[in-house]
Amino acid sequence: MKEIVVISGKGGTGKTTFLGYLATVMKDKVLADCDVDAPNLHLMLKPKIVQSERFIGSKIATIDDTKCSGCGWCIPACRFDAIQSTGNPCLGRIKIDADACEGCSLCARICDNGAIDMKDRYVGDWFVSDTSCGTMVHALLEPGAENSGKLVAIVKQKARMVAMDQGLQLILVDGPPGVGCPVISSLSGASIAVIVTEPTSSGLNDLERVLDLLHGFKVGAAIIVNRCDINVGAADSIERMAMERGVDFLGKIPYDDILAEEMAKGNVVDDRLNCPAIDAMRQCWERLSALLEEL
Ligand code: SF4
Ligand code: SF4
């Protein structure tokens, strides 16, 4: 089974636009939207949810006031300052700051009265959906919630199971931006990572970081420069850098008002659209397709 992960190093480079195009031209695949903090592939593909599951990100400490003696042992034990005395027994002697609690369970272990219980913390949902481009596994994490890497791993695992059930050999992954834990999780088992970047100094800087990450994890990379005409010199520099680092360069996509208008309407962008950006995406796809054959 092959897995193509489309990443960007930074947000807003047009990663999901290109992935949406790939979703329309690639056959017999499962889609996995691993950008769980800020997913937007569903805006294009308008999925019909067929399975929905809650995601337990971690645990949270809860106090049983009827068992708490107010001894205060748990307060200094919490290194995250999540436990405070209320100063008013009528309100319960102790309270937990849910935002500060990291779910480490230390307080529950040291409470001799058994007054602290660790409960599941639901911080999001994941879904299996039907789309016009095939089955999509996707998720949504609550704002500010942690453990997005764990949720990404669930999305990928479920996508692999769907692919096996349907007898498909390809998974197309919309990866998260950046180089953090969710990106690393999305790259697990990747056959190739396609990096969509832009010709700006921050784009170049983030590209270098993401290439170093891929090198560390021994995942092959291929680069696309989106909106290449906003800085032709920088776009050329990225192409040269790709050559120097021995990274495949798939092509450059120009800024295109027609494409931008279709995206603003929430439409899928595919080969029916007659514009320079789609022509460039088609060439990128043809080169990527050739690379996949070699894998
Ligand atoms: S250690 Fe247990 S009994 Fe003591 S204050 Fe904390 S929760 Fe209450
Ligand atoms: S579970 Fe850990 S972080 Fe949460 S309140 Fe208890 S000691 Fe603090």
User: Is the per-residue pLDDT at 287 higher than 90?
Assistant: yes
Task: Give 102 Cα–ligand 2 centroid separation in angstroms.
Answer: 6
Encode pLDDT of 193-224 as tens digits: 999 999 988 888 889 999 999 999 999 999 99
pLDDT of residue 90: 65
**Where does ligand 2 bind, in terms of residues with CB under 6 Å?**
61, 77-78, 80, 82-83, 96, 101-107
CATH of the domain spanning 57-122, picked from 3.40.50.300, 3.30.1300.10, 3.40.50.10490, 3.30.70.20: 3.30.70.20
Task: Give 108 Cα–ligand 1 centroid separation in angstroms.
Answer: 9
- Written as one letter, the residue type at 127 is F
Does 89 contact ligand 1 (Cβ within 6 A)?
A: no
**What CATH number is given for 2-46+132-294 in this structure?**
3.40.50.300
User: Is the per-residue pLDDT at 230 higher than 70?
Assistant: yes
Ligand 1: residue of 113, 117, 118 to mutate (most ligand atoms within 8 A of CB) is: 113
Task: Report how far residue 216's alpha carbon sits from residue 61's, in angstroms, rounded to the nearest whole number.
Answer: 37
Task: Give 26 Cα–ligand 1 centroid separation in angstroms.
Answer: 58
pLDDT of residue 201: 85
Does 84 contact ligand 1 (Cβ within 6 A)?
A: no
How many Cβ atoms are within 10 Å of 288's Cβ, its own excluded?
Answer: 22
Pick the residue whose CA is nearest to atom 3 on ligand 1.
68
| CA-angle at 243, arms to 237 and 248, nearest 5° | 110
Encode pLDDT of 69-125 as tens digits: 989 999 999 999 999 988 776 667 899 999 899 999 999 999 999 999 999 999 899
Do 23 and 32 meet the contact criterion of CB atoms below 8 Å apart? no
Q: What are the φ and ψ backbone dihedral angles of 140, each rounded to 5 degrees?
A: -145, 120
Indicate the pLDDT class of residue 272, thresholds 50, 70 and 90.
Answer: confident
Encode pLDDT of 11-59 as tens digits: 788 888 999 999 999 999 999 999 998 888 888 899 999 999 999 988 9
Domain ranges of the chain: 2-46+132-294, 57-122
Does 114 contact ligand 1 (Cβ within 6 A)?
A: no
Pick the residue whose CA is nearest to atom 6 on ligand 1.
74
Do 185 and 32 meet the contact criterion of CB atoms below 8 Å apart? no
Pick the residue whose CA is nearest to atom 2 on ligand 2.
104
Mean pLDDT throughout 123-142?
Answer: 94
Encode pLDDT of 234-260 as tens digits: 999 999 999 999 999 999 999 999 988
Does 96 contact ligand 1 (Cβ within 6 A)?
A: no
pLDDT of residue 225: 96
Encode pLDDT of 139-196 as tens digits: 998 887 777 889 999 999 999 999 999 999 999 999 988 888 889 999 999 999 999 9
